[in-house]
Structure 1
Amino acid sequence: MTVPSPLRLKSSAGRGVLFATILASGMAFLDGTIVNVALPHIGADLDSSVAGLQWTINGYLLTLAAFVLLGGSLGDRLGRRKIFIIGIVWFTIASLLCAIAPSIGTLIGARFLQGAGAALLTPGSLAIIQASFQEDDRGKTIGLWSGFSGISTALGPFVGGYLIDALSWRWAFLINLPLGAVAVLAALRWVPESRAPREENTRFDVTGAVLAALALAGVTFALIEAPDDGWGSALVIGALGIGVACAVAFVVVERRKGDAAMTPPALFRSRVFSILNLYTVVVYAALSGQSFFLAVTLQNVAGYDAFQAGLATLPATVLMLLLSARSGDLATRIGPRWQLTLGPIVAAVGVILLRRVGPDTSYLTDVLPGVLLFGLGLVILVAPLTTAVLGAVSQQHSGIASGVNNAAARAGALIAIAALPLLVGLSGESYEVPAELTSSFRSAMLWCAGLMVAGAGMALVFCGRLPKVHWHRAVTTMTTPTHSAHPVHETTEA
Structure 2
Amino acid sequence: MSTASTPTSATEHLHPATTRTLAALIVGGAAAILDSTIVTIALDHVSTDLHSTPTTIQWVVTAYLLALVAAIPLSGWAQSTFGGKRSWMATLTIFVIFSVACACAWNDTSLIVFRALQGFGAGMIFPLMQTLAVQAIGKASTKVMATTIAAISVPLALGPVIGPVLGGIVLNAAGWRWLFLINVPLIGVGLVMAWRLIAPDAPRSPQSTRVDVIGLALLIPSLVCIVLGLSNVASDGGFGQADVLVPLAGGLALIGAFITWAVRRGVRAAVNISLLRLRSLAASSGTLFTAGATMFAGMFLLPLYWQQVRGDSILSAALVLVPQGVGALLARIVAGRLAARFGARALTIGAFLLTALATIPFAVADPDASGWWLGCALFVRGLGVGAVIMAPMMVAYADVEHEEMAHATMVTRIVQQIGASLGIAVVAVVLQNSAATDVTAGYQTAFWWLIGITAVALIPAIAFRRESLDDEASATKG
Using structure 2 for the length normalisation, give the TM-score.
Answer: 0.79
1:78 Cα deviation after fit: 1.1
1:226-264 per-position Cα deviation (integer Å, ceiling 9, x unaligned): 664987765554323322221211111211211122332
Alpha-carbon distance in structure 1 between the residues aligned to 2:182 and 2:22: 21
Structure 2 residue 250 is matched with structure 1 residue 250: no
Deviates more, 1:298-307 or 1:101-110: 101-110
Give the alignment partner of residue 93 of structure 1, picking from 94, 97, 100: 97
**Correspondence 1:470 to 2:470:** yes
Please tell me the residue identity of whatever aligns with 1:119.
G
Q: Tell me if 1:173 matches 2:175.
A: no
Aligned to 1:346: 354
**Cα displacement (A) at 1:388:** 3.2
The equivalent position to 2:452 in structure 1, one of 427, 450, 453, is 450
Q: Who is 2:25 aligned against?
A: 21
Q: Pick from 126, 136, 140 the counterpart of residue 122 of structure 1.
A: 126
Match of 1:489 in 2: none
Structure 2, unaligned runs of 5 or more: 9-13
Whether the 8 Å CA contact 1:165–1:306 is kept in 2: the answer is: no
Match for 2:190 among 176, 183, 186?
183
Aligned-partner Cα distance in 2 for 1:208–1:6: 33
Listed as ranges, the matches of 1:283-432 within 5 Å are 283-355=291-363, 360=368, 362-365=370-373, 367-391=374-398, 397-398=404-405, 400-425=407-432
- Pick closer, same or farther for the CA change 1:7–1:86 going to 2, 3 Å: same
Alignment of 1:50-61 (within 5 A): 53=58, 56-61=60-65
SS at match of 1:470: helix
| Equivalent position of 1:68 in the other structure | 72
Taking structure 1 as reference, are residues 104 and 143 closer, same or farther at Cα in structure 2, changes over 3 Å only? same
Match of 1:480 in 2: none
1:263 touches 1:400 (CA, 8 Å); kept in 2?
Answer: yes
Mapped to 2, the partners of 1:212 and 1:234 lie a distance apart of: 22
* 1:482 alignment counterpart: none
Paired amino acid for 1:443: T
Cα gap change, 1:240 to 1:383, in 2 (>3 Å): closer
Q: Which residue of 1 aligns with 2:461?
A: 459
8 Å CA contact 2:328–2:384 kept in 1: the answer is no
How much has 1:357 moved relative to structure 2? 6.3
Which amino acid is the alignment partner of residue 96 of structure 1? V
Deviation (angstroms), 1:395: 7.4
**Mean alpha-carbon deviation: is it higher for 416-425 or for 241-250?**
416-425
Alpha-carbon distance in structure 2 between the residues aligned to 1:151 and 1:273: 23
Q: What is the root-mean-square deviation in Å for CA atoms of aligned residues?
A: 4.3
1:338-361 superposed Cα distances (whole Å, 9 cap, x missing partner):
222222122112223223566556
Gaps of 5+ in 1: 475-494
Distance 1:383 1:145, change over 3 A: closer
**Distance across 1 between alignment mates of 2:336 and 2:15:** 26
Choose between structure 1 and 2 for higher RCO, CA contacts under 8 A separated by at least 6 residues: 1
Q: How many angstroms apart in 1 are the aligned matches of 2:286 and 2:48?
A: 36
The C-alpha deviation readout for 1:367-410, integer Å capped at 9, x for no partner, is 31331221121244221222333346677745533442232111
TM-score, length-normalised on structure 1?
Answer: 0.77
**How far apart in 1 are the matches of 2:257 and 2:392?**
29
Kept after mapping to 1: 8 A contact 2:284/2:393: no
The count of residues paired between Structure 1 and Structure 2 equals 464
State the Cα distance separating 1:117 from its structure 2 match.
0.3
One-letter amino acid of the structure 2 residue matched with residue 219 of structure 1: I
Which of 82, 85, 94 is 1:78 aligned to? 82
CA distance in 2, matches of 1:4, 1:382: 24
Matches within 5 A, 1:230-269: 235-269=243-277
